[in-house]
């Protein structure tokens, strides 16, 4: 930030103001939530799809924390999603069917895994890190397959949740209370992430992403900070996994697949990394594209993968900042804005 | 004692055959990553393409297996030049994430394409007479195909080493891997070396895809993703761009993997990943990589 001239106190005040302004809610930030509620009332037939989208948004948001903000590339984020899912399912099938407790346990379990795996994996960078994140996920999947007397193996575990806070039952038929439940959890998850990325901690993550050596030189304990954000991201991904199986009432080893890791990364890239709402846009577009392609072709064979592959190639080549980046460019053009903001 | 001998030789022969396949499949990726610093996750797609070309040649035109392998090598090598020129070239200087994403895009699109053409089920071919059945070595019976795989693998490894260590073009490739700028200063056209090496690596992958049809129980669309992780593990353990390292990594991992699955049918598939994690934690640049 070289633009600030004037007295040191003046520039300090200005930077504080800059940070505060960023943290303040923009009026447009209410739009996704209004849309989410509108979908609930106007398109009740699509509640199952919409519920899945909401969960995927939370999952993609958690990935955005490490990929978009901290610059840690992971192809194994389902390790946490799947762990959260299995913890919840195992608790529910072993007489602890409370959904909220399930979420807490999922977050805690995934966070512990994040701590252990992050502490060791984040010593490496680049391709080695990529391979290790994949290896951890696939190893967990193999374990889930091998210990099939616990995990139910390929068939998985079926379970029922009790009422939320002893009041509201999660219905798996019309997805009315389930949808609201997922939306509320997503909202709080989003608030947490939003607070983190606009806090000094979040600024520091961006610093690490942009120039690890410089951050290290000015005294940031880089490894420790990376592990911290990895743990937070893991916990949120664990919650997403827990929600995913709670609304379905069953869990299979699918929650650990490498494909899912790839898909959530694609959703994030499609929407745009490091910008929070990219996850909303990406997950929604991806899921809708997936379900319409399946409907149009009248089959669930993965032909839509072709479309997704092409979209991904085009995104990387021509729209590296994702759909949300395109959207921002359009907004900027309309405003004729000349004030360039630092992301 | 003799049952022990049978066990050991079985593990060695089956493991070695798998190791050879692993090496042929992953060596191209190792060179690409070491030489160009390009994270080409679509390597598995090229291997898969090779497998499908081989299957189609043999079952549709009745071509001999060996001819089909050669043709698939050439077709896929040419195809990869096209990809390198049109897509990859733009991303050499971009961050790793972009390369990963672009090539994952190719993987997804290629899986869909082959599903569309050949369907989701594994495709098998009838092996020629001289490659089916088993041979009796006195103390144990081995499938002919596995012996063939080991011999073919050894020949390919020897040819590759000879080419890289003893020929002029091999010296140029090694120079470009070690220090690109210095190689360019000596008048080596690294751009052209890139393209040819990339084509050679992809062709090798195609060869591996064809040779693997029998060993891996047919070629199927998920191949590109399923084995990608294995390739990456092999080159990460071996050290990127290090052909000798890739060979030893393939050897070790192939035999460990088979031994694991042989002795612990329940949790054996898990061992190879555990070994990888331990190796990479102790040596992040691979067993034979440069720090």
A315 contacts B284? CB cut-off 8 A: no
Residue A84 binned pLDDT confidence (cut-offs 50, 70, 90): very high
Residues of chain B above pLDDT 90, percent: 24
Work out the average pLDDT over A34-59.
Answer: 88
Question: Looking at the complex, does the CB of residue B140 fall below 8 Å from at least one CB of chain A?
Answer: no
- Angle of helix B2-36 versus helix B144-166 axis, rounded to 10: 40
Sequence length of chain B is: 291
**Residue whose token pair is 């290629």:** B110
pLDDT of residue A229: 95
Residue B224 contacts A where some CB pair is shorter than 8 Å:
no
Mean per-residue pLDDT, A4-12 = 61
Across the range A69-80, mean pLDDT stands at 90
Asked if A256 is an interface residue toward chain B (Cβ–Cβ < 8 A), one would say no
- The continuous run of DSSP H or E covering B214 comes out as helix B190-215
Return the pLDDT at A299. Answer: 63
For residues B172 and A320, which has the higher predicted lDDT (pLDDT)? B172
**pLDDT for A1 beyond 70:** no
What's the pTM? 0.84
Supply A315's token pair.
């995104």
Does A305 contact B111 at a Cβ distance shorter than 8 Å? yes
3-state SS assignment for residue B179: coil
Question: Rounded to an integer, what distance in angstroms lies between the CA atom of residue B239 and that of residue B249?
Answer: 9
Nearest-CA distance from A10 to chain B in Å?
Answer: 37
Q: How confident is the model at residue B290 (pLDDT cuts 50, 70, 90)?
A: low
CA contacts within 13 A on the Cβ side of B103: 27
A243: pLDDT strictly greater than 90: yes
CB contact under 8 Å between A305 and B109, yes or no, is: yes
Segment B130-140 mean pLDDT: 76
Cβ-Cβ contacts under 8 Å, B97 against chain A? 67, 73
State residue A174's pLDDT score: 65
Higher pLDDT, A102 or A25: A102
Average pLDDT over residues A12-31: 78
Residue B277 parent element (H or E): helix B271-282
A-B C-beta contacts closer than 8 Å: 125
Going by C-alpha positions, the residue among B269, B277, B266 that lies closest to residue A150 is: B266
What is the pLDDT confidence band of residue A341, given thresholds at 50, 70 and 90?
Answer: very low
| pLDDT computed for residue B208 by the predictor | 92
d(CA A307, CA B100): 18
Q: Residue length, chain A?
A: 343
At residue A342, the pLDDT reads 45
With a cut of 90, say whether residue B164 has pLDDT above it.
no
- Convert the pLDDT of each residue in B59-94 to its tens digit: 888 888 889 999 999 999 999 999 998 888 888 888
Note whether A130 contacts B: Cβ–Cβ < 8 A: yes
**Would an 8 Å CB–CB cutoff place B110 in contact with chain A?**
yes
- Residue A237 sits at the vertex; the CA angle it makes with A236 and A239, to the nearest 5 degrees, is 65
- Residue B172 in contact with residue B180, Cβ under 8 Å? no
Q: How far is A86 from A245, CA to CA, in rounded Å? A: 8
Helix (H) or strand (E) holding A306, with range, is helix A304-318
Which range is least confidently modeled, A209-213, A257-261, B136-140, B223-227? B136-140
A131 and chain B: CB distance < 8 Å anywhere?
yes
B141 phi and psi angles, rounded to 5 deg? -100, 135
- What is the C-alpha radius of gyration for chain B, rounded to an integer number of angstroms? 19
pLDDT at site A230: 96
For residue B48, the model assigns a pLDDT of 94
What is d(CA A166, CA A174) in angstroms, rounded to the nearest whole number?
A: 20
CATH number for the region A29-284 comes to: 1.10.3470
Residue A98: per-residue pLDDT: 84
Q: Do A302 and B90 touch (CB under 8 A)?
A: no
Answer whether B284 sits within 8 Å of A124, measured CB to CB. Answer: yes
Return d(Cα A160, Cα A267) in angstroms, integer: 30
Q: What value of ipTM does the predicted structure carry? A: 0.81
Alpha carbon separation from A157 to A88, A153, A177, A246 (Å, rounded): 11, 8, 22, 11
Residue A49 sits at the chain B interface (C-beta within 8 Å):
no
What pLDDT, in 10s, does the model give residues A191-229?
A: 999 999 988 899 899 999 888 889 989 988 899 999 999
Q: How close does chain B come to A211, measured CA to CA in Å?
A: 13
- Domain extent listing, chain A: 29-284
Among positive and negative, which fits the CA dihedral A318, A324, A327, A329? negative
Closest CA to B122 of B46, B16, B209: B209
pLDDT confidence of residue B93: 81
Which structure tokens are listed for B265? 């049918």
pLDDT of residue A337: 53
Residue B272 predicted with pLDDT over 50: yes
Lowest mean pLDDT among A236-240, B18-22, B94-98, B252-256: B94-98
DSSP 8-state symbol, A67: I
Tell me how far apart the terminal alpha carbons of chain B are, to the nearest angstrom. Answer: 44
For A:68-127, CB contacts with B below 8 A are: 73, 75, 120, 123-124, 126-127
Query: What pLDDT score was predicted for residue B199?
Result: 93
Q: Let me know the angle formed at the C-alpha of A277 by A220 and A26, rounded to the nearest 5 degrees.
A: 90
Please give the mean pLDDT across all residues of chain B: 86
Tell me: pLDDT of A79 over 70. Answer: yes
**pLDDT tens digits, residue range B24-53?**
999 888 888 877 778 888 999 999 999 999
Q: What span, in angstroms and rounded, lies between the C-alpha atoms of A133 and A66?
A: 13
Q: Map tokens 């049978």 to a residue.
A: B6
Q: Which residues, in sequence order, are CB contacts of B288 under 8 Å at separation 6+?
A: B238, B239, B242, B244, B245, B248, B249
pLDDT band at A64 (very low <50, low <70, confident <90, very high): very high
Q: Which residue has the higher pLDDT, A167 or A342?
A: A167
Comparing A8-12, B119-123, B182-186, the range with the smallest average pLDDT is: A8-12
pLDDT the model gives residue A7? 54
Does the pLDDT of residue A340 top 60, yes or no? no
Per-residue pLDDT, A130: 84
With 90 as the cut, is the pLDDT of residue A289 above it? no
Q: Which of B139, B125, B137, B132 is nearest to B69 (CA)?
A: B125
Per-residue pLDDT tens for A123-144?
888 777 888 888 888 888 888 8
pLDDT at res. B143: 85
With an 8 Å Cβ cutoff, are B96 and A73 in contact? yes
Tokens for B284, please give them.
């992040």
Q: Which residues does chain B have within 8 Å of residue A136's beta carbon, measured at their own beta carbons?
A: 273, 277
Mean pLDDT of B132-148: 80
Tell me which of A11 and A203 has the higher pLDDT. Answer: A203
| DSSP secondary structure of A202-270 | HHHHHHHHH-HHHHHHTT--HHHHHHHHHHHHHHHHHHHHHHHHHHHTEE-GGGG-HHHHHHHHHHHHH
Largest distance between two CA atoms of chain B: 61
If one counts every other C-beta atom within 10 angstroms of the C-beta of residue B89, the result is 14
Q: Is A130–B100 a contact, with Cβ atoms under 8 angstroms apart? A: yes
Nearest CA in chain B to A267: B101
């Amino acid at each position: 930030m070289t633009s600030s001239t004037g007295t040191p106190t003046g520039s300090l005040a200005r930077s504080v103001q800059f940070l505060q302004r960023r943290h303040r809610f923009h009026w447009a930030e209410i739009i996704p939530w209004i849309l989410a509620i509108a979908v609930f009332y106007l398109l009740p037939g699509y509640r199952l799809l919409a519920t899945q989208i909401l969960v995927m948004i939370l999952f993609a948001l958690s990935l955005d924390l490490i990929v978009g903000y901290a610059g840690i590339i992971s192809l194994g984020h389902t390790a946490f999603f799947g762990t959260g899912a299995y913890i919840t399912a195992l608790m529910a099938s072993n007489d602890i069917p409370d959904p909220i407790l399930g979420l807490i346990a999922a977050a805690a379990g995934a966070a512990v895994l994040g701590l252990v795996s992050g502490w060791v994996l984040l010593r490496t960078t680049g391709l080695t890190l990529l391979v290790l994140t994949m290896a951890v996920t696939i190893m967990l999947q193999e374990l889930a397959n091998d210990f099939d007397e616990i995990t139910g193996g390929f068939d998985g575990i079926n379970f029922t949740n009790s009422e939320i806070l002893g009041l509201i039952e999660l219905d798996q038929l019309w997805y009315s209370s389930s949808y609201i439940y997922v939306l509320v959890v997503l909202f709080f998850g989003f608030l947490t992430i939003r607070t983190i990325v606009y806090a000094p901690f979040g600024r520091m993550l961006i610093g690490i992403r942009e120039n690890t050596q410089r951050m290290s030189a000015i005294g940031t304990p880089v490894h420790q900070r990376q592990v911290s954000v990895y743990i937070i991201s893991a916990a949120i991904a664990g919650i997403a996994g827990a929600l995913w199986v709670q609304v379905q009432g069953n869990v299979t080893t699918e929650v650990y697949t490498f494909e899912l890791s790839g898909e959530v990364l694609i959703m994030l890239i499609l929407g745009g990394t490091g910008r929070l709402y990219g996850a909303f846009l990406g997950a929604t577009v991806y899921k809708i594209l997936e379900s319409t392609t399946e409907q149009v072709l009248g089959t669930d064979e993965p032909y839509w993968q072709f479309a997704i592959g092409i979209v991904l190639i085009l995104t990387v080549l021509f729209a590296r900042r994702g759909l949300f980046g395109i959207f921002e460019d359009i907004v900027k053009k309309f405003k004729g804005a000349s004030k360039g903001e630092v992301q | 004692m003799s049952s022990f001998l049978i066990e050991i030789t079985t593990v060695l022969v089956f493991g070695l055959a798998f190791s050879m396949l692993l090496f042929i499949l992953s060596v191209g990726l190792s060179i690409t990553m070491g030489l160009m610093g390009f994270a080409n996750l679509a390597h598995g797609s090229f291997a898969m393409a090779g497998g499908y070309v081989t299957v189609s040649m043999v079952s549709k035109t009745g071509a001999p297996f060996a001819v089909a392998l050669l043709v698939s090598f050439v077709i896929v090598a040419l195809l990869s030049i096209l990809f390198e020129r049109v897509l990859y070239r733009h991303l050499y200087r971009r961050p790793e994430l972009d390369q990963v994403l672009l090539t994952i895009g190719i993987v997804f699109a290629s899986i869909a394409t082959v599903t569309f053409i050949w369907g989701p089920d594994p495709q098998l071919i009838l092996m020629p007479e001289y490659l089916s059945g088993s041979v009796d070595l006195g103390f144990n019976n081995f499938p002919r195909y596995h012996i063939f795989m080991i011999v073919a693998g050894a020949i390919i490894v020897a040819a590759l080493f000879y080419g890289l260590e003893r020929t002029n073009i091999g010296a140029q490739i090694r120079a470009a891997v070690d220090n690109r700028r210095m190689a360019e200063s000596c008048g080596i056209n690294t751009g052209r070396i890139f393209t040819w090496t990339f084509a050679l690596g992809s062709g090798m992958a195609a060869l591996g895809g064809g040779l693997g049809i029998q060993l891996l129980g047919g070629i199927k669309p998920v191949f590109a993703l399923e084995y990608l992780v294995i390739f990456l593990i092999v080159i990460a353990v071996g050290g990127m761009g290090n052909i000798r390292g890739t060979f030893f990594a393939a050897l070790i991992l192939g035999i460990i993997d088979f031994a694991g699955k042989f002795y612990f049918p329940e949790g054996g598939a898990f061992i190879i990943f555990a070994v990888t994690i331990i190796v990479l934690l102790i040596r992040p640049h691979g067993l034979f990589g440069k720090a």
